[in-house]
C-alpha cells in the first residue's frame, strides 16, 4: 500500500505546477486552468486524508471533495464568462496587455 506521504507529495507537486502556471502564463484562460489544477490538488488531499484518517466511515472527506468539485465547476463557469466579457471589452486575453481598469 502506498504511504500517505506519497499522495501528499503528488498533491504538492500538482499545486506547485498550477501555481507556476497561474503566475507565469500570459493567456488568461490558462491562468484559470492553473487555478483549477490547484483546486484539484486540494481535492486529492481531501481524499487521501479520508482514506488514511482515523474515521473513514464518516465519509467526511468524500463529501467535502464532492462539494469542492461542484464549487470549482461554478468557479470555472463564472471565470470563463468574465474572460469572455473582458475579451469583448479589450479584444485580447493577453494579461500583459490587459493592464488598465478603465479601458
Partner 1 sequence: MTIAFVMLAAIAAVGAVAAMLLRSAVHCVLALTVGLAGLAGLYLELGAQFVGFTQLLVYAGAVAILAVFAIMMTQGARAWAIGRFSTRWAAGGAIAAAVFAVLAWAICGSGVLAGAVGAAPSASVQEIGDALVHRYVLPLEIAGVLLTAALIGAVVVAMPGRAGGDKP
| Terminal Cα-to-Cα distance of the chain (whole angstroms) | 56
Cell of 57: 466511515
- Residue 23 in the binding site for partner 1 (CB under 8 A): yes
- Residue 36 in the binding site for partner 1 (CB under 8 A): yes
H or E stretch including 46? helix 28-52
Q: Note the maximum CA span of the chain.
A: 56
Binding mask 42-61 for partner 1 (x = CB under 8 A): -xx--xx-xxx---xx-x-x
CB 61, min distance to partner 1, A = 8
- Residue 35 in the binding site for partner 1 (CB under 8 A): no
CB 96, min distance to partner 1, A = 6
- Residue 76 in the binding site for partner 1 (CB under 8 A): yes
- Residue 98 in the binding site for partner 1 (CB under 8 A): no
Cell of 90: 479589450
CA distance 57 to 98: 49
Amino acid at each position: 500500500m502506498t504511504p500517505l506521504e506519497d499522495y501528499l507529495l503528488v498533491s504538492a507537486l500538482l499545486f506547485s505546477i498550477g501555481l507556476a502556471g497561474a503566475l507565469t502564463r500570459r493567456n488568461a484562460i490558462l491562468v484559470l486552468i492553473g487555478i483549477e489544477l490547484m483546486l484539484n490538488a486540494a481535492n486529492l488531499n481531501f481524499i487521501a486524508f479520508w482514506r488514511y484518517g482515523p474515521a473513514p466511515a464518516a465519509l467526511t472527506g468524500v463529501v467535502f471533495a464532492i462539494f469542492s468539485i461542484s464549487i470549482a465547476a461554478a468557479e470555472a463557469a463564472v471565470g470563463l464568462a468574465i474572460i469572455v466579457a473582458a475579451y469583448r471589452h479589450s479584444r485580447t486575453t493577453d494579461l500583459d496587455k490587459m493592464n488598465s481598469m478603465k479601458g
